[in-house]
């Protein structure tokens, strides 16, 4: 008698592997460096200011090592997913300034999201326009019209890159392989769709010019406008909600903004999208994208589902989000500004993934809706079903439609009236609720991603995974990086000040070691306190220089400590070089040098001003408004960046400390050597100082070049050079 048939075991949708050799090397290097650092500090004088600098460096280094102890890699297998079993996904794209975020680029992101390889009946794209710009609304309507042709084209021919701008630039070469008739049809369709795209693009460009001439969206109007929600097209004509061939819906959302109401920047915009989408598609998963971070492959949503829907995970119900890396299409081969963020996305996020998951990173993450609503993993099945209506209203507000969405089947839809959507997008809706405090993306920090991931998700027991593509696979998403130094420094200042404010508040990650593991809390704390690099770098950029210039036998590195300092310095450089080379899969000396240089530059610019900003806020002397200037995504002249030349055009006061320290170091180096030649050698007692000054001179050479040697428009502004000369001369006269 035949054995009874049994249900087949579910297929494994993803794999995870700990990189044991790399973990062993990291631990060995960490142990060696710790021993050398402890010996060097032990030989420091108790009253030496450099002792304090060394202790801060050791503190930050210890925090930075937590994500290095257990790096892992993952692989997803979207081909094993059962498409009928896929759950709905809402894609949320956020834009705020049509000047800095051109409509054509934003629409490419929207169109690429609509063309994802996912059942069209279960995919809805929401576009948040915080400026309330008529141009963006017009562009969205045009984008849907083009997408109605582009999406079927992608499905028919298996297009891999769903971003039309990149596709027609030649980034995705379709392989015919279907016979003469098929290839002829493909060639004809490609020309037809390309012509339609050119018409679409030129239409947006003309509308942009008209909007600029008419002044239809002034700065004042962007901060004072009514809510507007428009379903540009929906699925009413589809055969079913799960129809593979259905066109994804596109919904335009412009929340109400008034000067008297705090709008909480990106976090506020995302919370409005959560509420508006709950009235419409109410998908259980939310994919968040910055407006310049377009989909580079059609499989990213499916890859995220490989983790969310894999029942073979040890704890399948505690996964809050899948984080994809941020990668960029306009990176220079000689990335002088370290825009690649290699340390984060190629190294430390893999290590944090070996703990309980990476930090929520602003864009390119697929998130569970109930998790960001404030549920806990243990209550994820109907987490709000047991709450009384009054409690729900206190937490979520008074929209009946939104409250109903909390208890209805995830992904189910109900009829939504325009007034319902505009209500949840109004300024007053959140008043008296827990939005931004316990529900949705949190408002207590300008780095809403970092803070929400840590407080709202990890501290409630959720985990995450990091989906980094294999070397042979294309990047899931591609964004753009700033190519002007001032934009890079201002962006870093905003990040650093937001995270330092969290670190110095009652929400400090080090105080949450009981809610999360100690290594993970250290990993979060490293970024919270990263701005403190400003103090030791500032010390090492002034004290040895003034001591060397002063001469007379005095030195900041006595013989007893000079050998240990040298050993720690070499160990640090070696550890960094190995880390970079492992990430790049080759000996990457140029990347290592660029990161060394920008680390020092950022410490005395963006991080220094972040420390000052947070300090002023703590004593009540800070400004009333948070500086949340967007970096420009508009097409700029990045030739200098691509050629490996620093672009100082438009640099503000944030650059002044770096240029001053550069001149101080070079003046001290020349003056100190002159005194040694004239007055007899101090040889052994100053060899470490001399080496350090030469190293700093090499690091800061682009600054010196920009102040003294260059005459092009992108050199260091003359007023910064003049102020730097005066400040460096003052320091040398007072302390030299």
Distance from C-alpha of 279 to C-alpha of 97, rounded to nearest angstrom: 26
d(CA 460, CA 268): 21
> Does 54 participate in catalysis according to the annotation?
no
CA gap 455, 460 in Å, rounded: 7
Determine the length of the chain.
736
312-337: string of b/e by CB count within 10 Å (b at 16+)? ebeeeebbbbbbbbbbbbbbbeebbb
C-alpha–C-alpha distance, residues 286 and 296, integer Å: 18
Rounded to an integer, what distance in angstroms lies between the CA atom of residue 605 and that of residue 660? Answer: 11
Tell me the C-alpha distance between 736 and 730, whole Å. 9
- Using DSSP's 3-state secondary structure scheme, residue 435 falls into strand
The one catalytic residue in 318, 449, 487, 647 is: 449
Known catalytic residue: 449?
yes
3-state secondary structure of 14: strand
Which one, of 231, 283, 252, 279, lies nearest residue 423 by Cα?
279
Distance (Å) of CA 611 to CA 104, 453, 496, 499, 504? 37, 23, 8, 10, 11
Number of neighbouring beta carbons within 10 Å of residue 388: 8
- Write down the H helix ranges in 504-618: 518-528, 534-540, 543-550, 559-584, 589-603, 606-618
Nearest to 706 by CA among 645, 642, 637: 645
β pairing state of 285-290 and 365-368: antiparallel
What distance in Å separates the CA atoms of residue 130 and residue 225, rounded to the nearest whole number?
Answer: 10
Alpha-carbon gap, residue 378 to 420, rounded angstroms? 31
> Are 308 and 319 in contact, with CB atoms under 8 Å apart?
yes
What whole-number distance in Å separates Cα of residue 371 and Cα of residue 440?
A: 9
Of 534, 575, 568, 594, nearest to 688 by C-alpha is 568
Among 197, 187, 189, smallest CA distance to 112 is for: 197
Choose, from 130, 234, 353, 487, the residue flagged as catalytic. 130
Burial level of 202, CB count in 10 A (0-12/13-18/19+)? exposed
Question: 493: Cβ–Cβ under 8 A, 6 or more apart, which residues?
Answer: 605, 606, 607, 609, 610, 613, 627, 654
**Cα–Cα distance between 663 and 239 in angstroms, integer?**
71
Query: Which residues lie closer than 8 Å to 485 by C-beta, 6 or more apart?
Result: 337, 646, 647, 648, 651, 655
Nearest to 725 by CA among 711, 704, 694, 699: 704
Cβ distance 662 to 716 under 8 Å?
no
Neighbouring CB atoms inside 10 A of 621's CB total 8
Burial of 255 (0-12, 13-18, 19+ CB in 10 A): buried
Q: In whole angstroms, give the CA distance from residue 403 to residue 424.
A: 11
Is 530 in contact with 61 (CB distance < 8 Å)?
Answer: no
Beta strand 477-478 with 294-295 is antiparallel
CA distance to 60, 302, 365, 377, 461, per residue, from 306 (Å) = 36, 6, 14, 19, 21
Report helix, strand or coil for 656. helix
- Residues annotated as catalytic are 130, 449
């Amino acid at each position: 008698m035949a054995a009874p048939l049994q249900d087949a075991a579910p297929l494994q949708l993803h794999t995870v592997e700990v990189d044991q050799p790399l973990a062993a090397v990291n631990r060995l290097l960490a142990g060696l460096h710790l021993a050398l650092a402890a010996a060097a500090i032990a030989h420091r004088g108790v009253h030496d200011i450099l002792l304090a600098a060394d202790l801060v460096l050791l503190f930050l280094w210890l925090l930075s090592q937590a994500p290095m102890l257990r790096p892992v890699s993952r692989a997803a297998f979207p081909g094993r997913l059962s498409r009928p079993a896929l759950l709905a996904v809402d894609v949320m794209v956020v834009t705020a300034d049509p000047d800095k975020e051109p409509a054509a680029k934003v629409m490419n992101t929207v169109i690429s999201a609509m063309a994802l390889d996912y059942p069209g009946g279960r995919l809805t794209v929401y576009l948040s326009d915080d400026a309330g710009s008529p141009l963006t609304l017009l562009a969205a309507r045009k984008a849907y019209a083009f997408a109605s042709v582009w999406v079927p084209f992608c499905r028919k021919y298996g297009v891999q890159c769903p971003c039309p701008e990149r596709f027609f630039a030649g980034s995705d070469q379709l392989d015919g392989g279907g016979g003469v008739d098929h290839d002829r049809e493909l060639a004809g369709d490609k020309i037809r769709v390309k012509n339609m795209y050119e018409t679409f693009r030129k239409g947006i460009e003309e509308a942009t010019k008209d909007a600029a001439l008419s002044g239809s969206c002034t700065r004042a109007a962007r901060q004072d406008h009514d809510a507007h929600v428009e379903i540009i097209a929906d699925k009413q004509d589809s055969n079913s909600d799960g129809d593979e061939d259905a066109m994804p819906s596109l919904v335009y959302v412009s929340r109400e903004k008034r000067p008297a109401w705090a709008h909480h920047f990106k976090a506020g915009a995302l919370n409005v999208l959560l509420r508006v989408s709950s009235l419409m598609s109410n998908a259980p998963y939310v994919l968040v994208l910055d407006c310049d971070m377009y989909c580079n492959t059609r499989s990213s949503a499916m890859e995220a589902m490989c983790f969310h829907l894999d029942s073979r995970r040890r704890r399948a119900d505690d996964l809050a989000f899948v984080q994809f890396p941020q990668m960029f299409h306009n990176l220079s081969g000689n990335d002088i500004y370290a825009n690649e963020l290699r340390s984060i996305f190629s190294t430390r996020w893999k290590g944090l993934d070996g703990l309980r998951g990476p930090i929520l990173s602003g864009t390119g993450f697929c998130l569970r809706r109930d998790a960001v609503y404030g549920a806990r993993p243990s209550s994820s099945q109907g987490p709000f079903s047991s709450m009384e209506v009054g409690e729900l209203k206190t937490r979520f507000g008074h929209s009946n439609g939104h409250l109903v969405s909390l208890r209805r089947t995830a992904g189910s839809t109900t009829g939504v009236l325009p007034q319902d959507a505009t209500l949840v997008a109004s300024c007053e809706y959140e008043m008296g609720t827990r939005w931004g405090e316990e529900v949705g993306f949190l408002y207590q920090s300008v780095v809403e991603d970092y803070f929400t991931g840590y407080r709202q998700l990890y501290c409630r027991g959720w985990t995450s995974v990091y989906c980094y593509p294999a070397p042979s696979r294309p990047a899931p998403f591609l964004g753009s990086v700033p190519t002007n130094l001032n934009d890079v420094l201002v962006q870093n200042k905003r990040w650093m000040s937001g995270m330092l404010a969290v670190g110095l508040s009652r929400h400090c990650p080090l105080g949450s070691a009981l809610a999360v593991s100690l290594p993970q809390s250290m990993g979060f704390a490293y970024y919270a306190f990263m701005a403190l690099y400003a103090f030791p770098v500032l010390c090492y950029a002034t004290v040895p220089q003034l001591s060397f210039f002063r001469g007379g036998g005095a030195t900041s590195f006595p013989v007893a400590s000079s050998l240990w300092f040298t050993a720690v310095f070499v160990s640090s450089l070696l550890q960094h070089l190995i880390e970079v080379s492992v990430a790049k899969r080759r000996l990457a000396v140029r990347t290592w040098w660029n990161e060394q240089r920008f680390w020092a530059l950022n410490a005395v610019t963006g991080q220094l001003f972040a420390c000052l900003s947070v300090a002023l806020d703590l004593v009540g002397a800070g400004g009333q408004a948070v500086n949340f200037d967007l970096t420009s995504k508009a097409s700029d002249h990045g030739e200098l960046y691509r050629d490996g030349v620093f672009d100082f055009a438009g640099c503000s006061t944030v650059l002044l400390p770096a240029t001053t320290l550069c001149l101080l170091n070079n003046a001290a180096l020349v003056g100190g050597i002159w005194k040694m030649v004239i007055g007899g050698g101090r040889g052994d007692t100053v060899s470490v100082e001399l080496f350090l000054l030469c190293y700093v001179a090499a690091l800061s050479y682009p600054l010196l070049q920009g102040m003294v040697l260059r005459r092009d428009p992108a050199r260091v502004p003359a007023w910064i050079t003049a102020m730097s000369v005066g400040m460096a001369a003052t320091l040398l006269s007072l302390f030299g």
